[in-house]
Amino acid sequence: MRILILGAGGIGGYFGAQIQRAGGDVTYLVRPARAQNLIANGLYVSSTLGDIHVTPRVVTSIETPCEAFDLIIITCKAYDFDSALASILPAIGGNSLILPLLNGVAHLDTLDALFGRERVLGGLAHLAVTLTPSGEIKHLNSINRLIIGSRCTSFSKQVSSLAELLSSTSIDFSLSSHIEQDMWNKFIFLCTMAGATCTMRANIGEILSTVAGESFITGLLDECERVATANHRIPNPDQLLTYRNQLTEQGSSSTASMLRDIERGGPIEAEHTVGDMVRRADASGISVPLLKLAYSHLQAYELTRQRHGY
């Protein structure tokens, strides 16, 4: 199975290195500066689960015509999504599958319209990683979960081959028969985590130590649950309880990756995550004042960046 991974940042680099170490045929489509770093230093992952250092095959563009890839894994940030789609078009053939590992669910409609629902897999990653200035991927905890699944019955042989490959790695991998619900479950958690930690500019434990921190977090979670239910994606009660426990754990140092993006003054995925949840709430006639407060905060941050020309 020939695999093209769009991006070799935190998510793409981590999972790509794992797949490559297990013998997978992986090519990374990256920007020129990242390509230079990877060619010079290799792809290095630092993790408590075991460091990985591999020599990656990198390209900065896909020439037309080319031999199509069997699988294209999209790991870019949501704000780069449109340009990313243009870059992978030459790599897609009649039997290619697309596996997006983006936050949220808004990207599915775009990919379905371009390639057909049967060829677009669902996927989600529970992975806290960051790309250091030197180009090293640093794994921030011991969680490296990857869930994928077909959203229809076509291409079952290819999905089975992919699942077999991923199962041979050190990734905490599972193949789901209800992947869209799994993605919605993470969407709920992500919007709550990002909404809380970005608005408060603090980690979960610090927020819980404030006078109204816990009610703010649980209020966000409840609003997200109502939006999901209105969109026919009722979360599993046990999963929701797990999220609630994680989000109200005293002393927790957890933050959303979006907060780390804010702290370095970078662009953020507000529109694709919290903004999308707010729009779905409005379309369903659901009041979400806390989500709108968090979304307004994120919009103000982006407007400030624009004013300063970032």
Residue 66: pLDDT band with limits 50, 70, 90: confident
Residues 249-293 pLDDT 10s:
999 999 998 999 999 999 999 999 999 999 999 999 999 999 999
Residues 68-124 pLDDT 10s:
899 999 998 888 898 888 899 999 988 899 999 999 999 999 999 999 999 999 999
pTM attached to this predicted model:
0.91
Residues 148-180 pLDDT 10s:
999 987 667 889 999 999 999 999 999 999 999
Residue 65 has pLDDT above 90, yes or no: no
Given its phi and psi angles, is residue 25 left (phi above 0), alpha (psi -120 to 50 degrees) or beta?
beta
Residue 310 has pLDDT above 90, yes or no: no
Q: pLDDT at position 146, please?
A: 96
Residue 232: pLDDT band with limits 50, 70, 90: very high
Residues 129-151 pLDDT 10s:
889 999 999 998 889 999 999 99
Q: What is the DSSP string of the chain?
A: -EEEEE--SHHHHHHHHHHHHTT-EEEEE--HHHHHHHHHH-EEEE-TT--EEE--EEESS--SS-PPEEEEEE-S-GGGHHHHHHHHGGGEEEEEEEEE--SSSTHHHHHHHHH-GGGB-EEEEEEEEEE-TTS-EEEEEEEEEEEEE-SSSTTHHHHHHHHHHHHTSSSEEEE-SSHHHHHHHHHHHHHHHHHHHHHHTS-HHHHHTSTTHHHHHHHHHHHHHHHHHHTT-PPPHHHHHHHHHHHT-TT-----HHHHHHHTT----TTTTHHHHHHHHHHHT---HHHHHHHHHHHHHHHHHHHTT-
Name residues whose C-beta falls within 8 Å of residue 279's C-beta, 6 or more positions apart in sequence: none
Name residues whose C-beta falls within 8 Å of residue 135's C-beta, 6 or more positions apart in sequence: 34, 37, 38, 41, 44
Q: What is the CATH number of domain 2-177?
A: 3.40.50.720
Mean pLDDT of the chain: 94
Q: pLDDT at position 152, please?
A: 85
Residue 247's closest CA among 290, 273, 213? Answer: 213
Name residues whose C-beta falls within 8 Å of residue 158's C-beta, 6 or more positions apart in sequence: 1, 70, 71, 95, 97
> Whole-angstrom Cα distance, residue 40 to residue 32?
12
Domain ranges of the chain: 2-177, 181-307
Count CB neighbours of 303 within 10 A. 10
Q: pLDDT at position 82, please?
A: 87
CB 228 within 8 A of CB 104: no
User: 181-307: what fold?
Assistant: N-(1-d-carboxylethyl)-l-norvaline Dehydrogenase; domain 2 (1.10.1040)
Q: pLDDT at position 132, please?
A: 92
> Whole-angstrom Cα distance, residue 44 to residue 37?
11
Given its phi and psi angles, is residue 82 left (phi above 0), alpha (psi -120 to 50 degrees) or beta?
alpha
Structural Rg of the chain based on CA atoms = 19
Residue 131's closest CA among 42, 19, 45? Answer: 45
Residue 1 has pLDDT above 80, yes or no: yes
Q: What is the DSSP string of 289-303?
A: HHHHHHHHHHHHHHH
